[in-house]
Structure 1
């Protein structure tokens, strides 16, 4: 078989899979075993960073390629697997997600019962039930809160763990109770600074009373009902969990820290910031501001934003 017989198929794999493929895929494409061994030798044109995985280039892998390689090692796409932990957070766009030091590890979730085990930097976690993955740049990734919990659980750097939790809650708007529940008591007991931060975020006036007052004010004013505490996704990726969101208008109501105002505004949404005290001191002004914002809308690329209902 000549090189030209398999070259188009190899080019297709390189283009579609960010140059990350497997021995089985290359064999199916017609690459002879002798050619594969030759090109994967030291100094060759390809490399084998993990068993059964071939990267169609030389030199260091990008973070995305490492994630794809770890998934291929775990059997994806033939078998279920997804990226989690620090690598998953990085794919979700969490700014502080890069591992603090040393060779980056890619964490992979697979169903319990699979015989695959951790190998070098591909760390395999066996779980009884896989969560529904998010598709980020064509890579299956654990939901943001799950990826954060796995990253915090595995981290040996308590300062990094706290920074991850702070970014999720303060910048991205992940509800502190949801994150605490996913982490669990055992992890929080080992992370006292994380536990104290989540307690502080969940005990302020916003969590205790602002939302019920806002719901009552919107109802009395006869305004269109928003979704309360929804999860917003932009092109499938987590965007935020604001206090309220008017789906037809692209309007967000922000009652305090933690909704990720900058991230929501960068997506084109209108964010109306209302101090909790204003709900009782100047409710008429709040209603007028809401009416004006709704009348001036809609805002943002609404066709690219998905809103999932939150707690009632």
Structure 2
């Protein structure tokens, strides 16, 4: 028996009500359906259709969003399907992996659990991925003319039909949403922004990502910089809005941490100055009695020498404050969001240690 020979001469009717409703030619051959038979059933007026090369929709009606997603994954996965061990029916459905052929023959779907795919496999990105992440600022899946599928650069694939192939030197670890592999929000945003000329639409997507707590503003800017998109006109203005939004949310998290972890009330958003002298630095929160300051790292990320220069400037400012006996605590917005109790413990420790330090120099505290 040759590798592509059908395993059994079962009648084609056993697949009419199958689940999943999308299979590729290799999976069909496992069910005894040759390529010629599948092609015949896809003729005008036939019960099947072939939305993408080598991918078959086992009903004559318009494909649903789920059908299109599964079809894209099947198409993108074709180059990797070379060994017999991977010839089972491809069944990424919203309920989980595919049921075996016996279940297909009976026309029933077996309950199953989603499976996380390795990072080298195809994953959705761009607008489709953002829609799967729950973004309301992007078009619904059903209205997308193209579905972006991210694959390693080495894959020999071309965009066809509603499947648009996006290649990457290194694909990220996908997130699993209803059993489907989806690119992280930062990567999906970069791929969506690359296709968008509308500055308002770009601003809406970026702002929603931060407001809905999908990711931090700095992480988005870092990904946009990696994709070389920061210089685009529709992105430049949106980044300033994004960083301002990210800072406001980080300040809100800091305020909540102080309130709910029952820390003493600090002075918020102040400049520290020597009496009659220059400004020593601006801080987000300051406890005058304990001489403890908190700084949030919400600046835009830089690259190369710029990042190094900013890091050195920040270190000099911290050393200047510490020379006058002021303890500076740096908090990351992501840490405040994910582990406020731990960050509160760090601040509380610094406050309690004030009694063991030399008294700090007298500084003037003025609103920033």
Superposition TM-score, scaled by structure 1 size = 0.62
Q: Which residue of structure 2 lines up, in the alignment, with residue 88 of structure 1? A: 129
Tell me, in whole angstroms, the C-alpha distance in 1 between the residues paired with 2:11 and 2:52. Answer: 26
- 1:167 alignment partner, SS class: helix
1:193 maps onto 2:237 in alignment: yes
Q: Which residue of structure 1 lines up, in the alignment, with residue 261 of structure 2? A: 218
Q: CA RMSD in A?
A: 3.8
User: Are the aligned partners of 2:209 and 2:215 in contact in 1 as well (CA < 8 Å)?
Assistant: yes
User: Are the aligned partners of 1:168 and 1:174 in contact in 2 as well (CA < 8 Å)?
Assistant: yes
User: Are the aligned partners of 2:10 and 2:32 in contact in 1 as well (CA < 8 Å)?
Assistant: no
Q: Which residue of structure 2 lines up, in the alignment, with residue 269 of structure 1? A: none
1:117 maps onto 2:119 in alignment: no
User: Following superposition of structure 1 onto structure 2, how do residues 291-310 of structure 1 map, counting pairs within 5 Å?
Assistant: none
Q: Which residue of structure 2 lines up, in the alignment, with residue 44 of structure 1? A: 46
Tell me, in whole angstroms, the C-alpha distance in 2 between the residues paired with 1:100 and 1:188. Answer: 27
Q: Deviations over 1:224-247 (max 9, x none)?
A: xxxx8569xxxxxxxxx9465679
Alpha-carbon spacing, 1:104–1:229, altered in 2? closer, same or farther (3 Å):
same
Q: Deviations over 1:41-60 (max 9, x none)?
A: 12211111111111112232
Q: Which residue of structure 1 lines up, in the alignment, with residue 63 of structure 2? A: 61
Q: Which residue of structure 2 lines up, in the alignment, with residue 70 of structure 1? A: 72
Shift of 1:100: 11
Tell me, in whole angstroms, the C-alpha distance in 2 between the residues paired with 1:86 and 1:160. Answer: 12
Tell me, in whole angstroms, the C-alpha distance in 2 between the residues paired with 1:201 and 1:128. Answer: 31
Shift of 1:97: 2.1
Q: Deviations over 1:22-66 (max 9, x none)?
A: 111111210133321221112211111111111112232222222
Structure of greater Rg: 2
Point out the more displaced range, 55-64 or 209-218: 209-218
- 2:138 alignment partner, SS class: coil
Tell me, in whole angstroms, the C-alpha distance in 2 between the residues paired with 1:93 and 1:70. Answer: 20
Q: Which residue of structure 1 lines up, in the alignment, with residue 190 of structure 2? A: 149
Q: Which residue of structure 1 lines up, in the alignment, with residue 35 of structure 2? A: 33
User: Are the aligned partners of 2:126 and 2:189 in contact in 1 as well (CA < 8 Å)?
Assistant: yes
User: Are the aligned partners of 1:131 and 1:143 in contact in 2 as well (CA < 8 Å)?
Assistant: yes
Q: Which residue of structure 1 lines up, in the alignment, with residue 205 of structure 2? A: 164
Alpha-carbon spacing, 1:174–1:31, altered in 2? closer, same or farther (3 Å):
same
Alpha-carbon spacing, 1:103–1:4, altered in 2? closer, same or farther (3 Å):
same
Shift of 1:218: 3.5
Point out the more displaced range, 165-174 or 124-133: 165-174
Would you say how many aligned residue pairs link Structure 1 and Structure 2?
230
Alpha-carbon spacing, 1:30–1:217, altered in 2? closer, same or farther (3 Å):
closer
User: Are the aligned partners of 1:74 and 1:116 in contact in 2 as well (CA < 8 Å)?
Assistant: yes
User: Are the aligned partners of 1:20 and 1:68 in contact in 2 as well (CA < 8 Å)?
Assistant: yes
Tell me, in whole angstroms, the C-alpha distance in 1 between the residues paired with 2:34 and 2:214. Answer: 51
- 1:187 alignment partner, SS class: coil
Tell me, in whole angstroms, the C-alpha distance in 1 between the residues paired with 2:75 and 2:141. Answer: 24
Tell me, in whole angstroms, the C-alpha distance in 1 between the residues paired with 2:9 and 2:340. Answer: 56
User: Are the aligned partners of 1:153 and 1:183 in contact in 2 as well (CA < 8 Å)?
Assistant: no
User: Are the aligned partners of 1:188 and 1:194 in contact in 2 as well (CA < 8 Å)?
Assistant: no
Q: Deviations over 1:187-242 (max 9, x none)?
A: 122122322211322444x5469639936983858xxxxxx8569xxxxxxxxx94
Q: Deviations over 1:154-212 (max 9, x none)?
A: 223332222211211113352111111111173122122322211322444x5469639
Alpha-carbon spacing, 1:81–1:101, altered in 2? closer, same or farther (3 Å):
closer
